[in-house]
Amino acid sequence: MYLHVPMAWLASADYVLLALCGLLCMVWRHPLAGIVALEAGPLGATATALCLITGSLWGKPGWGTWWVWDARLTSMLVLFFLYIGHILIIRAFDDPVRGQRAAALLALAGVVDLPIIKFSVQWWNTLHQPDSITLTGAPTMSMSMFYPLLVCATGFTLTGIALLLIRTRTTLLERRAQSLALREPLV
């Protein structure tokens, strides 16, 4: 639980960031938004994959099966495919701006999956347990488990932010070096 739940939160939060970057890219054509989206995609896909795999690892002893086509699990799998699509599309064009705009469209269209993930356990009768933590009510889990979960979630979130900043800085440095190389002959 201390891995699976923070990964699920991180995967959803990363997709919200991806959609915001898509909006910034489409409406204001902000150049940094495209670069952040380029680097946020693989991180989100990794978090989603880890969420699915750790969930599956708990599904076997808990439910007696590795996988069921449950609404929560399936919508999370759809999120993973959205990430994969975004990663492929943003890198598929020779012109990076065209790739960023095409990927932004996918990111914005895919936002519809987020409320499905969130409310799937309420809308459908699923094998996955309902949310133990909500924004409005008290957690239904023991406090001795709740606080370590918060610590884990904070740690993973901070690691995710740090990784995103490092990778965005790297892409900016790579592009500056590339533009210097293309600007004029060096000797």
**With CB under 8 A as the contact rule, which of the stretches 79-87, 88-96, 131-139, 158-166 interacts with other proteins?**
158-166
- Report the residue from 28, 61, 138, 143 that binds other proteins according to the rule CB under 8 A: 61
Residue 88 or 166 having the CB closest to other proteins: 166
Q: How far apart are CA 2 and CA 20, in angstroms?
A: 27
- Report the residue from 27, 32, 58, 124 that binds other proteins according to the rule CB under 8 A: 58
Handedness of CA 109, 83, 33, 40 (dihedral sign): positive
Q: Does the footprint of other proteins cover residue 138 (CB under 8 A)?
A: no
Q: How far is the CB of 137 from other proteins (least distance, A)?
A: 28
- Report the residue from 46, 48, 75, 120 that binds other proteins according to the rule CB under 8 A: 46
Q: Does the footprint of other proteins cover residue 143 (CB under 8 A)?
A: no
Q: Does the footprint of other proteins cover residue 17 (CB under 8 A)?
A: no
Say whether 85 sits in a helix, a strand or coil. Answer: helix
Residue 24 or 48 having the CB closest to other proteins: 48
Residues 6+ apart with CB under 8 A from 186: none
Per the structure block, which two tokens stand in for 82? 């959205």
- Report the residue from 109, 112, 141, 173 that binds other proteins according to the rule CB under 8 A: 173
Q: How far is the CB of 155 from other proteins (least distance, A)?
A: 10
Q: How far apart are CA 46 and CA 135, in angstroms?
A: 26
Per the structure block, which two tokens stand in for 108? 């914005």
| Chain-centroid distance, C-alpha 159 | 14
**With CB under 8 A as the contact rule, which of the stretches 23-31, 55-63, 114-122, 133-141 interacts with other proteins?**
55-63
CA distances from 89 to 37, 55, 103, 114 (A): 12, 28, 6, 20
Cβ pair 31, 163 in contact under 8 A:
no
How does DSSP assign 13-56, residue by residue?
HHHHHHHHHHHIIIII--HHHHHHHHHHHHHHHHHHHHHHHHHH
Q: Does the footprint of other proteins cover residue 78 (CB under 8 A)?
A: no
Binding residues (CB under 8 A) for other proteins: these are: 3-4, 7, 43, 46, 50, 53-54, 57-58, 60-61, 159, 163, 166-167, 169-170, 173-174, 176-177, 180-181, 183-187
